[in-house]
Amino acid sequence: MEKPSFADVAIVSCGTLSPELRHLKQTGFLDTEHLIFTTPGLHEDIEELERQLISKIAAAADRAPHVLVVYGGKFCYVNADNPTRTMQTIIAEQPASVERIDATHCMDMLADESERERIATELAGGEPVWWMTPGWIQFRYKVFKDWDKAMANENFPRHTGGAVVLDGIGFVDEYMSKHPEDFLEYSDWMGIPIQAHPISLDRFKDLLAAGCRRLKGGA
């Protein structure tokens, strides 16, 4: 199916995915002039996430007739005080010209569940894996803003397969060559090894294209 044009679409995304979205713009897949990002790691602060997301959507709607939101539906916004309020609830409250990408979280946008299972089997013998994207490396101190070593010890070591970065842009190799000490310190802080797995961005492109078509009334 022919790729739709994003020229009349503004994209509002979690900043964690900014490396991939900027790459897709630089390589010509996204022809939009409007990439708008919320602060990375706001799944830890849902009140601020909701505030920023609604504000950014409004700003995006002033710039383009269509707005595509790049946020997961299941795990990015979990409201413990009001469980029936979900990401889809927030999107449904926006104008009809606003649509959300069809995925559960950022890792799912890059590799679906079956692909992640295949990678976990290949790299970790099927052991539990802590999944990451390049943004979880680049924006570490925002994503884990309020985490101390005790919290890291409580959460990461149970992932006996280590951490795997789903890398569709060659980010980890470049980061390790420029900041090897930081990368090793990150792994030490997590208490598990971190390795990259190269992927294509085909799934992400397909999800973006499908969201764009829905915005414009297509299938």
Is 68 contained in some domain?
A: yes
The enclosing domain of 15 has a CATH number of 3.40.50
User: What does the pLDDT read at residue 74?
Assistant: 82
Separation of alpha carbons 123 and 129, rounded Å: 9
Is 3 contained in some domain?
A: no
How sure is the predictor about 202, in pLDDT bands with cuts at 50, 70 and 90? very high
Q: Are residues 149 and 183 both part of a single domain?
A: yes
Is 4 contained in some domain?
A: no
| Structural domain range at position 40 | 9-107+201-215
Q: Are residues 120 and 99 both part of a single domain?
A: no
219, pLDDT greater than 70: no
Mean pLDDT of the residues in the chain: 95
For the residues 90-106, what does the mean pLDDT come to?
Answer: 94
How sure is the predictor about 2, in pLDDT bands with cuts at 50, 70 and 90? confident
| Confidence (pTM) | 0.94
Separation of alpha carbons 120 and 72, rounded Å: 21
pLDDT in tens, 100-142: 999 999 999 999 999 999 999 999 999 999 999 999 999 999 9
Residues 6+ apart with CB under 8 A from 41: 16, 139, 142, 143, 144, 145
Strand partners for 167: 198
User: What does the pLDDT read at residue 1?
Assistant: 65
For the residues 146-163, what does the mean pLDDT come to?
Answer: 95
Question: What is the full DSSP assignment across the chain?
Answer: -PPPP-TTEEEEEEGGGHHHHHHHHHTTS---S-EEEEPTTGGG-HHHHHHHHHHHHHHHHTT-SEEEEE--SSSS---SSSTT--HHHHHHTS-TTEEE-S-SSHHHHHS-HHHHHHHHHHHHTT---EEE-HHHHHTHHHHTTT--HHHHHHHSTT-TT-EEEEESSSHHHHHHHH-HHHHHHHHHHHTS-EEEEE--SHHHHHHHHHHHHHHTT--
User: What does the pLDDT read at residue 28?
Assistant: 96
pLDDT in tens, 19-70: 999 999 999 999 999 999 999 999 889 999 999 999 999 999 999 999 999 9
Kindly state the percentage of the chain with pLDDT values over 70: 99
For the residues 163-167, what does the mean pLDDT come to?
Answer: 98
